[in-house]
Chains A and B, each alone.
Chain A
Amino acid sequence: GAGVSQSPSNKVTEKGKDVELRCDPISGHTALYWYRQSLGQGLEFLIYFQGNSAPDKSGLPSDRFSAERTGGSVSTLTIQRTQQEDSAVYLCASSPLGSSSYNEQFFGPGTRLTVL
């Protein structure tokens, strides 16, 4: 079956511009997570959705970052007024069960964002 998909796969933007990154989770997965991996670093948690609500936004680095999820499916991560330090690979993951159960997360291929 189809896995997690993300678009675009690559995005190059100029400092100060806004960008939107999209994630299509595996159908039926209720939980959706955003992470980012900066050069030479591990994956860093950004935000978590259960259905359309976001009970944990603690990883968003600044108020320039926001995310929403609609219909319990597609999610969009928006970065306003991008800065060079936002350059990273942004990864989306989904999992089939809610936060009350142990289950692995399935990752998409990521969006590589480069801010010039």
Chain B
Amino acid sequence: DQQVKQNSPSLSVQEGRISILNCDYTNSMFDYFLWYKKYPAEGPTFLISISSIKDKNEDGRFTVFLNKSAKHLSLHIVPSQPGDSAVYFCAASAVRVGGKLIFGQGTELSVKP
């Protein structure tokens, strides 16, 4: 059973516009959520995180929103840049079970000039 789901395998956005990547989860035990960015042949790179006591966290062009009642989080990138083109994974963890990350399947973002 897929506890973390990214239902859009790909997303294409024009440079300068907003990119919105979505993620849904099913397990109420999750209390920490992260977004990673991955280029081909490289390991995932941490982007931004949010704990379940917050509903928003912002870092530069990246903002993560958490809706606990809907078990939904989203990553907003604004403005989008061609260098943002990569696969984005959302991940969830629960401190009480050791912090292992449960990943979604990823969304491939393409930002076109």
**CB-based contact B89/A43 at 8 Å:** yes
Query: Bound complex: CA of A40 vs CA of B104, how far in Å?
Result: 11
Chain B residues within an 8 Å CB radius of A55: 98
**CB-based contact B100/A100 at 8 Å:** no
A108 within 8 A of B: yes
**CB-based contact B46/A105 at 8 Å:** yes
**CB-based contact B89/A42 at 8 Å:** yes
- Number of A-B residue pairs having CB atoms within 8 Å of each other in the complex: 66
A41 within 8 A of B: yes
CB within 8 Å for A91 and B102 given contacts A102-B32, A102-B95:
no
A63 within 8 A of B: no
Query: Bound complex: CA of A14 vs CA of B105, how far in Å?
Result: 28
Interface set of B (CB-CB < 8 Å, partner A): 4, 6, 31-32, 34, 36, 41-46, 49, 51, 89, 91, 95, 97-106
Inter-chain pairs besides A42-B105, A103-B99, A107-B43, 17 sampled, C-beta below 8 Å:
A33-B101, A42-B104, A45-B102, A48-B98, A56-B100, A91-B43, A93-B43, A93-B101, A102-B51, A102-B99, A104-B34, A104-B46, A105-B46, A105-B99, A109-B42, A110-B42, A110-B43
Interface string of A90-103 (1 = CB under 8 A from B): 01010100011111
**CB-based contact B106/A42 at 8 Å:** yes
**CB-based contact B89/A31 at 8 Å:** no
Chain B residues within an 8 Å CB radius of A43: 44, 89, 91, 101, 103
